[in-house]
């Protein structure tokens, strides 16, 4: 009897071992898994970080710190003008990618200085709560420096993706997250909320130093960080980057606007329930996001194999997404209970709706990556614009009619509607007969 069980188990064990081997050997899967691991670990350490801050700083100080950190991410993203995605697409085409990468870093740094100075100049209008920075020039200088570091940190992640070295994305961000846990309490507590921001900026700076000294030379042969401004090198990339920048903003717009609409219509309490539910769902959304970035990188290196790469990515994305949706659906009340019983009661239904969107999002994200590889920017913009218009327009209407769950349902519907149009060309691509093996 035992021998029979062994005979039945052996093929299953062999199949699992072969699957693990193929994942390890495939740069498509390997890079995607590191991007997913990066998002999961940084999210978990983010919860730990804010738990420590709440225990050691007043709510007002935590509010100032979180506002400044969110602001640094926003200004850092604006400063990149989409050059990160441009690097993923154009690095494989360059004989000397180091010049392209350094030029992108230089442009991003300059844009970060300009954006942060403009923000400081209009601080009384944009955020009167933060105008204390204008009273001490040292605080303003630190602010500008942290914005520059944040923008470079964001674009260096995509440089690693371009080089198919996403393990360094994970390693760099793990270093940053671990370093920032004790820094605010140990060294910057006297600065209050600004100390939380400064400590986070110091951790980002240390991550950059480690990346420039160790990780970048391992990703790009003969790399050395230096200011380079050769517009001829990035001329073709700039237009591509700009349109991707617009598309990326349109895709992210529901996540930026929904959490503002809910509290405006239903109060801060309902806004909190929706925000936590949204953040939990976005952790699961790393599946299509990570695989689409990996597909863009791999497809840019081997554009002739885009059909096979897309097929592998789609099957993996759908398999993981169905498993993730099932897990979140069954455990949503338990997971939300970590934040309190009120969150479990107020956010569970919203979470169970939002996670469904991850399944059609897998189709949408990967189809967009295919079009980015093929430089079909008109289709990228149409898809991103349709998602944004449907999600925001229908979301606002359904939010007013049925409450926060209506906004969640609208988000799902927007992805389903766009996926219905994307699935046909995507299916045609992945079923294309080819004799190339990956």
59-104 confidence digits (pLDDT tens): 778 777 877 887 788 788 888 888 887 888 788 777 778 888 998 8
Specify whether 285 is located in the same domain as 353.
yes
What is the Cα–Cα distance from 316 to 322, expressed in whole angstroms? 10
How many CB atoms within 10 Å of residue 320? 21
Specify whether 295 is located in the same domain as 211.
no
Number of domains within the chain: 2
Q: Is residue 173 a contact partner of residue 203, using CB atoms and an 8 Å limit? A: no
19 in any annotated domain: no
Specify whether 56 is located in the same domain as 119.
yes
Task: Please list the alpha-helical segments (H only) found in 211-340.
Answer: 216-219, 231-266, 268-284, 286-301, 306-336
Specify whether 223 is located in the same domain as 262.
no
Specify whether 248 is located in the same domain as 222.
no
Q: Single out the residue in 201, 229, 257 at which a domain terminates.
A: 229
| pLDDT, tens digit, 9 for 90 and up, residues 252-284 | 888 777 876 777 777 766 776 787 788 778 888
Angle formed by the axes of helices 167-180 and 193-210, nearest 10°: 150
Specify whether 62 is located in the same domain as 87.
yes
319 in any annotated domain: yes
By mean pLDDT, which of 31-45, 295-309, 407-421 is the weakest? 31-45
Q: Report angle CA 122, 124, 126 to the nearest 5 degrees.
A: 65
Q: Single out the residue in 229, 263, 298 at which a domain terminates.
A: 229
Structure tokens at 187: 């060294």
Q: Single out the residue in 185, 202, 229 at which a domain terminates.
A: 229
What is the Cα–Cα distance from 405 to 396, expressed in whole angstroms? 11
Residue 113: Cβ-neighbour burial (10 angstroms; 0-12, 13-18, 19+): middle
The percent of residues in the chain predicted with pLDDT above 70, rounded, is 90
How many CB atoms within 10 Å of residue 323? 11
301 in any annotated domain: yes
Exposure of 438 in the CB half-sphere (CA atoms within 13 A): 23
Q: What share of the chain is helix, strand, coil (3-state, %, to 5)?
A: 90, 0, 10
Specify whether 210 is located in the same domain as 318.
no
2 in any annotated domain: no
Give the domain extent around 215: 24-229
What is the Cα–Cα distance from 362 to 287, expressed in whole angstroms? 8
156 in any annotated domain: yes
198 in any annotated domain: yes
Nearest residue to 314 (alpha-carbon basis) of 334, 329, 294: 294
**What confidence score (pLDDT) does residue 438 get?**
36
245 in any annotated domain: yes
- Using the predicted structure, report yes or no on whether residue 7 has a pLDDT greater than 50: no
By mean pLDDT, which of 89-93, 408-412, 420-424, 425-429 is the weakest? 89-93
Specify whether 309 is located in the same domain as 199.
no
Specify whether 160 is located in the same domain as 300.
no
Q: Is residue 247 a contact partner of residue 367, using CB atoms and an 8 Å limit? A: no
6 in any annotated domain: no
Specify whether 291 is located in the same domain as 198.
no
The percent of residues in the chain predicted with pLDDT above 90, rounded, is 32
**What confidence score (pLDDT) does residue 390 get?**
94
- Local structure of residue 436 (DSSP, 8 states): -
Q: Is residue 201 a contact partner of residue 142, using CB atoms and an 8 Å limit? A: yes
Specify whether 142 is located in the same domain as 170.
yes
DSSP 133-148: GGG-HHHHHHHHHHHH
Angle formed by the axes of helices 286-301 and 83-90, nearest 10°: 40
**pTM of the predicted structure, to 2 decimals:** 0.74
Specify whether 314 is located in the same domain as 218.
no
Phi, psi of 267 (to 5 degrees): 95, 165
């Amino acid at each position: 009897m035992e021998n029979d069980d062994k005979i039945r188990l052996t093929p299953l064990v062999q199949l699992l071992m072969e699957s693990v081997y193929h994942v390890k050997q495939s740069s498509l899967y390997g890079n995607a898994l590191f991007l997913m691991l990066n998002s999961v670990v940084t999210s978990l350490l983010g919860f730990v970080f804010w738990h420590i801050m709440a225990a050691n700083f007043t709510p007002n100080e935590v509010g100032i710190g979180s506002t400044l950190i969110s602001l640094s991410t926003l200004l850092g993203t604006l400063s990149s003008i989409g050059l990160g995605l441009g690097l993923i697409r154009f690095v494989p085409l360059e004989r000397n990618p180091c010049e392209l990468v350094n030029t992108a870093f230089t442009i991003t740094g300059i844009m970060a200085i300009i954006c942060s100075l403009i923000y400081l100049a209009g601080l009384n209008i944009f955020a009167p709560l933060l105008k204390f920075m204008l009273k001490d020039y040292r605080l303003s200088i630190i602010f500008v420096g942290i914005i520059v570091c944040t923008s470079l940190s964001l674009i260096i992640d995509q440089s690693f993706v371009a080089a198919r070295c996403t393990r360094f994305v994970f390693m760099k961000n793990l270093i940053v997250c671990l370093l920032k846990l004790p820094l605010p309490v140990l060294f910057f507590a006297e600065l209050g909320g600004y100390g939380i921001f400064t400590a986070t900026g110091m951790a980002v700076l240390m991550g950059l130093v480690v990346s420039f000294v160790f990780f970048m030379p391992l990703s790009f042969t003969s790399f050395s960080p230096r200011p380079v401004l050769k517009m001829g090198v990035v001329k073709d990339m700039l237009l591509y980057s700009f349109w991707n920048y617009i598309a990326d903003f349109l895709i992210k717009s529901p996540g930026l606007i929904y959490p503002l609409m809910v509290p405006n219509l239903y109060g801060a309490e309902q806004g909190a329930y929706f925000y936590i539910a949204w953040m939990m769902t976005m952790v699961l959304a790393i599946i299509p996001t990570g695989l689409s970035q990996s597909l863009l990188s791999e497809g840019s290196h081997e554009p002739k194999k885009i059909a096979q790469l897309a097929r592998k990515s789609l099957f993996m994305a759908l398999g993981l997404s169905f498993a993730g949706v099932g897990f979140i659906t069954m455990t949503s009340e338990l997971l939300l209970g970590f934040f309190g019983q009120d969150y479990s009661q107020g956010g569970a239904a919203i979470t169970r709706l939002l996670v469904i969107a991850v399944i059609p999002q897998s189709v949408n994200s990967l189809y967009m990556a295919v079009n980015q590889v093929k430089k079909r920017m008109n289709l990228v913009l149409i898809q991103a614009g349709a998602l944004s218009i449907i999600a925001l327009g229908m979301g606002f209407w359904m939010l007013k009619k049925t409450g926060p769950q209506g906004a969640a349902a609208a988000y799902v519907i927007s992805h389903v509607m766009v996926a219905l149009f994307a699935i046909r060309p995507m299916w045609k691509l992945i079923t294309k007969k080819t004799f190339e093996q990956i």
